[in-house]
Structure 1
Amino acid sequence: MTKPRLLFLPLSLVIITLLGCGQSAKPETRSNQSAISTTTSSSIAPTPIFKSIDANIQGQPYGRGLSAVRFVSATTGYMDGNGIILKTTDGGQIFSAVAHTSVNLTGLSIAKTATTTVAAWGGHSILVSHNSGSNWSTYTFTHTVQQADFVTASEGFAITQGDYAPPASVPSALWRTTDGGAHWAELQAPSPPVSVSFGTASVGWVGVAGGDIFQTANAGQTWNRVLHLTAKPGEAKVHAVSSQICWALITGGSGMSQTSYTVFRTTNGTNWTPVLGISTAGAGPAPGNPGKVPRGPGSSPGPMAVLGPNQAVIAGVCEACGWGTASLSSTQDGGASWSSHPTIGDSEGPLASMSFVSLNEGWVLDNRGESGNGILLHTLDGGTSWKEVYPTTHPHPTMGVSFVNQDIGFGIGVPGNANAVVRSSNGGLTWTQVGVLPATKVTSYGNLGSPIDFLTTQHGYIVNQTGKLFETKDGGRTWTLQQIPRANNQFVSVMFASVEQNGTINTFGQQIDVTQDGGRRIIEKKIKPHYY
């Protein structure tokens, strides 16, 4: 029997489509499926048709377009995106829409001293609510809003992007409101501002595109430069805690899908100390040449969440590494030491947004690479393990599926855990985790095939990109690594034709590996390339 090829699309919410030819049946294995005849025209000889099952992972655009997440507490939080603001009061188990708009919202913030004040922005607009999302007011600027930061329910600041296209050149601008967002007035500020954060209504900092940081003590009337780096880096993003304490993430050069960065911190508002950094071969040295500071996560910076004077969490990504390459580092002593956490399984990165309410509990919004389908992941152990809470709290496979009949199927990977093995007994409507693959990473290389193949309800195989083949004989509960004498290729898909363990393993390249004993011995077959 020829097995249909699986098309794998790594999107967020999964729909399993099962197609059966002939009468409905529940075979225990695929090899014992009998042939049936079909009626054909007189000019064509009858051809046997084998009952077969196609499995297809497809994405539903349910979470498409989400941009930012902010939590006020362990239970109350917000997300926004293209035309919508969502709110949860149970930690993300259920989100409900609290606002609809024609604006593609890209940012979200909570006032530092008034958690009932929420600001969302995108396009030329800022939307503000002063009653936890029940009612919203909108203010429209002439140019695109880049960021908004509210200190109190009434005092807030915003940055609009410049427009340097001729004939009129309009620089980026800093704005202030004293009536909760009803009216805004432009301030004289260092140019071009890219981030703003105030610790009190009068004391705040602005980061500019050249990496410098400026401070004000009179609500933005005058500014003093407090950090200047000789080598011009990318930009500075500031995170104020009080009138004295502020953190800053400054990016450096970029190259080879890498971006160097340095995290700085001040305890008196003017003197800054590097506390974390990363230099790479492709991006060059970290801004400020920080020397012997702890190494940051990833090879490029992700979002940063500041929890207080001494607590912060930063995400890093490896953009050239593929899935599951976003990871976190956290500090509880002002950056003197950092705790590193493992990569977030099955995240596509770079992460769109991040919010923590403590060093243990936080959320990350993964927009699933090019698909744009938003997945919200939740951690209770500081980033060591993750569980999806939006758009669904139920597990579903994301990296590959294999069905042995129209009801029973197995999948590999769930959001937050790329090595989870799940099982469905109802044709893919619901899934239950049954095991965990003993591997560091499972990757299927997009739509090149499925890395999982089950022959019966008990016997199955999984391959991964490091050239490893795993076998289970108890329905996915436990897995054994097959000791392949020579595996020089990255495996991307596996297909077995019979319970006699004859099968093929597709590789990332012009080669197919063939086995006749369940993977214990591999025969390499070169493929002659064809050009179209």
Structure 2
Amino acid sequence: MNWTHKIHHTALTLLSAGLLAVSGWGASASPAQAAAAPAPACGSGDQGLLQELQAKLSSTQSAPPSFNDLQFLSADTGRAAGNGFMIGTSDGGCHFQEIYKGQWNFRQMDFPDNVKGWALASVQDGSAVYLITTSDGGSTWKRLSDKAVTFERIDFTDRMHGFGYNRTSTYYTADGGLSWSKISTPANTSGAEFSSRSNGWAVVTAPGSGYRIMKTTDGGSTWKLSLKSAFDYPESGRIYAKGDQVYALLYGGSGMSQTSYSLYASGNKGNSWRRVIAEDSAGGGPAPGSGAEPLKTGPASGKPGNMQLIGNSTAFLFGFSPAGEKVAVGRTYNSGKQWSNQPAIPGVDGMISFTGSKAGWMAMKGVNSSSLYATEDGGTTWKLKLTFKGTE
């Protein structure tokens, strides 16, 4: 499972747990209803929900519940979804509730606000991926088309506008996903990212000519060089951009549960770059690219996962080591000038959703479990919120 999904961090008005109980996700309540709801005590976050949901799902599928994606809109309000289910919290994980249970196996979800959302999902264990949408916070979903999509990830900036990506192509919608137009990207693009319809980035790789990071400010009509190297071109790449920050995550070879990679950072919209991490591996060979001597290992000394960019200077990178059975985050508070890898916890895969420089969440897959963790100190320590456990 590729966990290199990008997740939004929109600041929203929080729903109270009492409001959730009265109105459900995506609904509204009167001030009298909200005021009447008592403030619940913070418990384990389970209250029997996971056991009940696991029992329901076990009757329709053989695999135990497993988190495939999570998205938090604030430190308190967010969702986590997987094979046939979606759960949510509005009080920082003190309580969770079942939002959805059904046929959809969520690959990635994207909520620009707490009501309207989209997801890439398959029907149970099917291989075809569909673009589906919800207008009630995730309780009910409908396909936007009977045809499967080729998107590997989606990114909606609001209720009408968004982008769909696969490794080589980028698409844009201005009508909530009903129709899509292809955006022109350079030849040999192996990863792109648009922060707006006008501004975008592309990783261009070609055997024998190294790699290039290209930038457009006119919606793909023209592309200009931002970074290049003639050495060890990557297999593919992923760009993350927010405000003045831009990060290029370049993937090298993979083997023996290892992936070589390099991370480049820019704090001035790509006008200059620094190589932050260059991790070689026995199974994946040398890290792609060139540059000054950076850190030799990333978080968990393993594979790179997804990144989260906060404001103009803070960024987090998730790292996981399947063989070492550990996961962790690395972070910077100054656009990559200094980088620190935080302590690891047990796990084999996962992803992160940070909503600020300190507050964040992690969906972690273990050898025989799938768990949600929260941090209040930028990933230095993690608190377990809930766990699905499989059968031994």
TM-score by length of 1: 0.53
Residues 158, 291 of structure 1: CA spacing in aligned structure 2 closer, same or farther, 3 A cutoff?
A: same
Report the secondary structure of 2:336's partner residue. coil
Moved more, 290-299 or 206-215: 206-215
Report the secondary structure of 1:309's partner residue. coil
Equivalent in the alignment of 2:117: 118
Report the secondary structure of 1:342's partner residue. coil
Contact 2:229/2:290 (<8 A) preserved: no
Equivalent in the alignment of 2:355: 357
Provide the C-alpha distance between the structure 1 equivalents of 2:166 and 2:64, rounded to a whole number of angstroms: 27
Provide the C-alpha distance between the structure 1 equivalents of 2:133 and 2:274, rounded to a whole number of angstroms: 35
Contact 1:147/1:195 (<8 A) preserved: no
Deviations 1:224-267 (A, max 9, x none): 4534443221221111103x532221112234432221111232
The one of 141, 147, 155 aligned to 2:153: 147
Whose helix fraction is larger, Structure 1's or Structure 2's? 2
Deviation at 1:61, TM superposition (A): 8.2
User: Is 1:176 equivalent to 2:188 in the alignment?
Assistant: no
Residues 189, 66 of structure 1: CA spacing in aligned structure 2 closer, same or farther, 3 A cutoff?
A: same
Deviation at 1:190, TM superposition (A): 3.6
Which aligned pairs between 1:103-502 and structure 2 lie closer than 5 A? 103-111=104-112, 117-122=116-121, 123-129=128-134, 132-133=137-138, 136=141, 138-140=143-145, 141-160=147-166, 172-190=168-186, 195-207=191-203, 212-230=212-230, 231-242=232-243, 244-266=244-266, 267-269=268-270, 271-295=272-296, 296-297=298-299, 298-321=301-324, 323=325, 325-344=326-345, 347-351=346-350, 353-369=351-367, 371=368, 373-391=369-387
Deviation at 1:156, TM superposition (A): 0.8
Deviation at 1:377, TM superposition (A): 1.2
Residues 135, 303 of structure 1: CA spacing in aligned structure 2 closer, same or farther, 3 A cutoff?
A: same
Deviations 1:62-99 (A, max 9, x none): 96232111111011112222233333212233333434
Deviations 1:97-131 (A, max 9, x none): 434553422113344xx675533213432234466
Equivalent in the alignment of 2:39: none
Provide the C-alpha distance between the structure 1 equivalents of 2:217 and 2:195, rounded to a whole number of angstroms: 10
Residues 209, 103 of structure 1: CA spacing in aligned structure 2 closer, same or farther, 3 A cutoff?
A: farther
Provide the C-alpha distance between the structure 1 equivalents of 2:62 and 2:357, rounded to a whole number of angstroms: 32
Contact 1:157/1:177 (<8 A) preserved: yes
Provide the C-alpha distance between the structure 2 equivalents of 1:245 and 1:132, rounded to a whole number of angstroms: 30
Equivalent in the alignment of 2:3: none
Residues 235, 180 of structure 1: CA spacing in aligned structure 2 closer, same or farther, 3 A cutoff?
A: same
Deviation at 1:160, TM superposition (A): 4.3
Give 1:313's aligned amino acid: F
Contact 1:146/1:194 (<8 A) preserved: no
Give 2:73's aligned amino acid: V
Deviation at 1:335, TM superposition (A): 0.8
Equivalent in the alignment of 1:468: none
Provide the C-alpha distance between the structure 2 equivalents of 1:116 and 1:380, rounded to a whole number of angstroms: 26
Deviation at 1:375, TM superposition (A): 0.8
TM-score by length of 2: 0.70
Report the secondary structure of 2:182's partner residue. strand
Provide the C-alpha distance between the structure 2 equivalents of 1:185 and 1:85, rounded to a whole number of angstroms: 30
Contact 2:201/2:214 (<8 A) preserved: yes
State percent identity of aligned pairs: 29
Which aligned pairs between 1:2-13 and structure 2 lie closer than 5 A? none
Deviation at 1:381, TM superposition (A): 2.1
Residues 135, 308 of structure 1: CA spacing in aligned structure 2 closer, same or farther, 3 A cutoff?
A: farther
Deviations 1:398-425 (A, max 9, x none): 9xxxxxxxxxxxxxxxxxxxxxxxxxxx
Give 2:120's aligned amino acid: W
Residues 340, 107 of structure 1: CA spacing in aligned structure 2 closer, same or farther, 3 A cutoff?
A: same
Residues 137, 241 of structure 1: CA spacing in aligned structure 2 closer, same or farther, 3 A cutoff?
A: farther
Deviation at 1:313, TM superposition (A): 1.1
Give 1:304's aligned amino acid: M
Residues 91, 192 of structure 1: CA spacing in aligned structure 2 closer, same or farther, 3 A cutoff?
A: farther
Residues 279, 131 of structure 1: CA spacing in aligned structure 2 closer, same or farther, 3 A cutoff?
A: same
Contact 2:163/2:172 (<8 A) preserved: yes
Equivalent in the alignment of 2:17: none
Contact 2:277/2:295 (<8 A) preserved: yes
Residues 240, 135 of structure 1: CA spacing in aligned structure 2 closer, same or farther, 3 A cutoff?
A: farther
Please list every run of 5 or more consecutive structure 2 residues that lacks an aligned counterpart in the other structure. 1-49, 52-60, 122-127
Residues 220, 333 of structure 1: CA spacing in aligned structure 2 closer, same or farther, 3 A cutoff?
A: same
Contact 2:254/2:260 (<8 A) preserved: yes
RMSD: 3.3
Contact 2:258/2:303 (<8 A) preserved: yes
Contact 2:276/2:339 (<8 A) preserved: no
Provide the C-alpha distance between the structure 2 equivalents of 1:203 and 1:315, rounded to a whole number of angstroms: 25
Give 1:92's aligned amino acid: G
Deviation at 1:177, TM superposition (A): 0.2
Structure ID, larger Rg = 1
Provide the C-alpha distance between the structure 2 equivalents of 1:128 and 1:226, rounded to a whole number of angstroms: 36
Report the secondary structure of 1:145's partner residue. coil
Contact 1:66/1:82 (<8 A) preserved: yes
Provide the C-alpha distance between the structure 2 equivalents of 1:147 and 1:65, rounded to a whole number of angstroms: 19
Provide the C-alpha distance between the structure 1 equivalents of 2:219 and 2:139, rounded to a whole number of angstroms: 29
Contact 2:260/2:281 (<8 A) preserved: yes
Provide the C-alpha distance between the structure 2 equivalents of 1:154 and 1:179, rounded to a whole number of angstroms: 5
Provide the C-alpha distance between the structure 2 equivalents of 1:188 and 1:100, rounded to a whole number of angstroms: 38
Please list every run of 5 or more consecutive structure 1 residues that lacks an aligned counterpart in the other structure. 1-12, 15-59, 162-171, 399-445, 448-532
Provide the C-alpha distance between the structure 2 equivalents of 1:319 and 1:207, rounded to a whole number of angstroms: 27
Provide the C-alpha distance between the structure 1 equivalents of 2:204 and 2:366, rounded to a whole number of angstroms: 30
